[in-house]
Structure 1
Amino acid sequence: HIDQHQVPTQAIPESETLQVLQEEIFPEIAHEEGPYIDFNFEQLLPEMVSHQGPALAVGDVNGDGYDDVYLGGGKKQSGQLVLSNPNGTYTVRTEPFVAAQNAEEVVALFVDTDRDGDLDLYVGTGGKAFSKFDSALKDLFYLNDGRGNFKPFAFAIEEAPLLNTGVVISFDADADNDPDLWIAGRYDTETYGLPSSGYLLINDGLGKFSLSSSEAFKDMGMVRSAVVADLNADSWPDIIASGDWMNVEIYLNRAGEFERATDLFGMENTRGMWGALYLADLNGDGIKDLIAGNVGTNSLYQTGMGMWVADFDQNGRQDQLFSYQINGEDYPIHDKDELSQQLPYLKKNRLLYADYSTATLEKLLGQSALESSTNYRLNLI
């Protein structure tokens, strides 16, 4: 045992400490978020979930040896392709991406889908400013001519469902030596808290995709990150995925068919607010280890916190309620005025503020309402 107060220390000169340098690389390029305000429609959300920031993809699209950048556009803003020049300058292109500016671009991926030696572009769209039937939620696909000139190829992903996209990854799912695409939803477009689905697009080798019939990813959750690794050493790539109010989910690839295997890998009690997954060999044994980024304890999210989603006031819209668990009981995190504004029928209870301060969710809403809701509980933060 070592007492920290007994360890000799020495001050480091200020000039040798880490200096934070900031430089604007693209000063005239900025992502513009739309005016949509989540709280106007879902008043009890603890934070805005629709402003996800720009899609970003990096790769050499014209074969000149320099990395180029695709920056996705917000609603009513064109995506922008930033081409690096050998002299340190750059050229910005908005064609043909401006035609899709009604969409909100939330993820992007460069991948050579047609195996012609250049990087094509997949752009996932999303956001909450659309109905779940809006064509602006249809993901976008662009073919590269090898010189960094892109053209839309909507036919490539014709079968893809409308989705509030959360993540897209590329890997050879069926061992036919071409890149397939796996896409998963960030959250239900109209209601945060309802699970979204994932789906697999199978490449025909020429850049045209067909929708896999797999049901393994149906209603899988609110996905923010995913990686691929061969977890059971059978030479087939498996999927690890996670996100908000989710376990770290495992899907094993059984010769091109996927099955959920989260429990098999001991991940059934890892429900958290996961924002990132990375693979790295941390101990030098030649096997990739998993790094999972959670929200952490310096936030309003706590172990035992619950989310309950249902149409509690029977007005045709789903409500989200959040609770902290104290001594095995769930108490709303919302104050009395907030909750009564979202659920006006509670005003009939004529609860005093003092009474509300000790009221459990079960007392306020009833046991049957809670049991019939879509609900989650965080057990790892």
Structure 2
Amino acid sequence: MKKLLTTSVALLITGALFLGNKEKDHFTAAITKASAALPLDQIKMPAGFSISVYAEVQGARSMVMSPTGTLFVGTQRPGSVFAVKDTDGDNIADKKWTITTGMNNPNGVAIKNGALYVAEISKVTKFADIDKNLESPGKGEVINDKFPTEWAHGWKYIAFGPDGKLYVPVGSPTNIGIPDDRHAAIFRMNDDGTGLEKFASGIRNSVGFTWHPTTKEMWFTDNGRDQLGDDVPFCELNTAPKAGMNFGFPYFHSGTIKDPQFGGTHEASEFTAPAQNLGAHVAPLGLKFYTGKMFPAQYKDQLFIAEHGSWNRSKKNGYRVSLVKIKDGKAAGYETFASGWLDEAAQRAWGRPVDVLLLADGSMLVSDDVAGVIYRITYKK
């Protein structure tokens, strides 16, 4: 009887330890069978390139990688921020954590000094030592909650610039209109939320920016206004080598198109023209210069852009990853790199690219908030 009791107690203790460990492991599988049916064979790219699913993330939007290899992913309407990681080195994420839920369009994510920064519509929250606290990150510290509260064009892409400051955009709260000083601009602030200042203005809605690897100049996308027709104005790729530049909204679009309602007596020469006009209504979002070594040499320091795709054009446009060729620090061409998320005949899209990010091996990640996945694009001769 005594031996039986001893055995029972041991089993109870072992079971408790097992349950405790299981309860402590808050991660889930980063890939299930949910993405198996995606028609990846429809994606068209140059010869030698291939695409696969790196992770399944509901509503995957902006991405940032920590120095330890944890990928953090923001969302929009799902209201959550996720972390995924390839822990076994097979170039496919295998673990996924939910960092936070119930947030107001936490599209933007950034990393500095081990801390994760998350941007909602009206505030930015900091999660300290995030890689050490994936299981229990807490509620974080709100470092700035003074941004406008309008939902329209209020979701944010954020990133730290070469100057160590956090750059935060605020879009126009309407399709077209005269913005106040708090909208239609890109701002920057210190990493503790202080020192907020306007960096650039005349920007309808930027949801992606990056810096040239050599010149350190900012390049950013801007979504053009609607309701002027299918083919005008163009969405824009802009460059801001210094603070204080004005890119024309709402007076001029695409560098040369005067707004019929607000253009008035303004002249195009008052504003900075786009570095490259993109497709009309293609909704360009995240972008990165290619600095890896996996892709062929002609892609070195060239610019990849995720085009989310049009929403009200009579014939859909975008839904692809485009390539802007850079020569002598200037845009010198614009072409499609990867397409196939849009069924042209049916005019139906099964995926919408949002952001791009490079892995250490030179492969490229692309997030997709409709298919709910993150792809990995590789090259092999």
Q: Which has the larger radius of gyration?
A: 1
TM interval, shorter chain, is 0.3 to 0.5
Task: Please give the TM-score of this superposition, normalised by the length of structure 1.
Answer: 0.44
Q: Which has the higher contact order (CA 8 A, sep 6+)?
A: 2
